[in-house]
């Protein structure tokens, strides 16, 4: 499962939804809110633009101290649904 950590990154670098939406050319910040909540996940080219926006709009002192990286924004976590747990149990050999 891919986790998009926009909320944390925006907080770290002091980037507001409206500013990010404006930089991306969006008419409102509704899509940014959906990204933050996990309701939607951006495509890779949009992630690239979001990183550019944060680098441009973010707090320069914090960006200098803690440079933005892809892993700050995107994280992989294994799926842990009940179905995948059952599949794993079936594959165990004793």
Say which CATH number the domain at 52 has.
Answer: 1.10.260
Q: Which domain holds residue 52?
A: 2-76
Predicted confidence band of residue 45 (pLDDT cuts 50, 70, 90): very high
In a domain? residue 8: yes
pTM for this entry: 0.80
Over residues 74-91, the pLDDT tens digits come to 999 898 876 555 655 555
In a domain? residue 85: no
User: Cβ(12)–Cβ(62) under 8 Å?
Assistant: yes
In a domain? residue 57: yes
The average confidence (pLDDT) of the chain is: 89
In a domain? residue 53: yes
Which percentage of the chain shows pLDDT scores above 70?
A: 86
- Number of domains making up the chain: 1
For 91, which DSSP code? T
Q: Cα–Cα distances in Å, from 43 out to 22, 72, 87?
A: 18, 16, 29
CB atoms within 10 A of CB 38: 12
In a domain? residue 83: no
């Amino acid at each position: 499962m891919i986790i998009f950590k926009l909320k944390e990154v925006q907080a770290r670098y002091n980037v507001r939804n409206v500013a990010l939406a404006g930089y991306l050319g969006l008419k409102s910040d509704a899509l940014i809110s959906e990204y933050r909540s996990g309701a939607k996940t951006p495509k890779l080219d949009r992630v690239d633009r979001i990183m550019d926006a944060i680098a441009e709009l973010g707090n320069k002192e914090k960006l200098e101290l803690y440079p933005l990286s892809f892993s700050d924004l995107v994280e992989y976590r294994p799926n842990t649904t009940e179905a995948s747990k059952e599949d794993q149990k079936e594959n165990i050999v004793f």
